[in-house]
Amino acid sequence: MTREQWVDLILDMLASGDAPQEIRGKYHPEIIDKHISIAFDYLVAKVLYPEASKTNNWGALDAYAKAFEMVEILDHTERQERYCLLPVQPISLPSNRGIRSVSPMTDQEYRFMYRDNNSNNIYGKLEVNDVVTVPRYYLEGQRLYFSAHLPFQLKYLLLKLIAPFSNLDYEDEVNIPQGYGKLVFDLVCQSLGAKKLEKVSNDNNANIP
């Protein structure tokens, strides 16, 4: 379903007997949209990411990524580095796994390698830094900085990011795994202050402390 359809669905559920009496028909769609954003971001970071980590199936996160095309590469002349501006700040995940892919527009198999900001000085001195010519990138705030391996003729990139719900367009598809729709609804209710859940665990049993 799209972001807009999710808002409509939650509004319908909140207007029905499934919702606590104190919130039935009480909230504007924009308010519901903000609370779905809280629930979706929590679902990705606290439920789906741990599951992917446990099974080492990082590709499972790709279903939640949005592609941003023609992201321009810029020059930082003072630092003599090239960089691009992130179109959105991805959902915060360990090891910046909210950034699913950085590649040229026409060659997605040529994916760049993520490098932790603090490890640049170490890897830069290793032989592998010269042998492996795939460009590296590191995150600094709203920017991705690239190593000198980046081809000079390359001007635009394709980024795939797990964007927060609030940064999606209303026509964008929002993938929520089967069985987690009820969890999202419960999280929205909790965020609205209508009910308290005990804990959200990775076995799809509801609840947050």
Residue 76: pLDDT band with limits 50, 70, 90: very high
Question: pLDDT tens digits for 161-205?
Answer: 999 999 999 999 888 877 788 888 888 878 776 554 444 444 444
**pLDDT at 125 (0 to 100):** 55
Question: pLDDT tens digits for 148-159?
Answer: 889 889 999 999
Q: Could you state, in order of their start, the residue ranges of all structural domains in the chain?
A: 3-59+170-191, 66-161
83-105 CB burial, b ≥16 within 10 A, e <16: bbebebebbebeeebbbbebbbe
Contacts of 112 (CB under 8 A, 6+ apart): 102, 103, 134, 135, 136, 137, 146
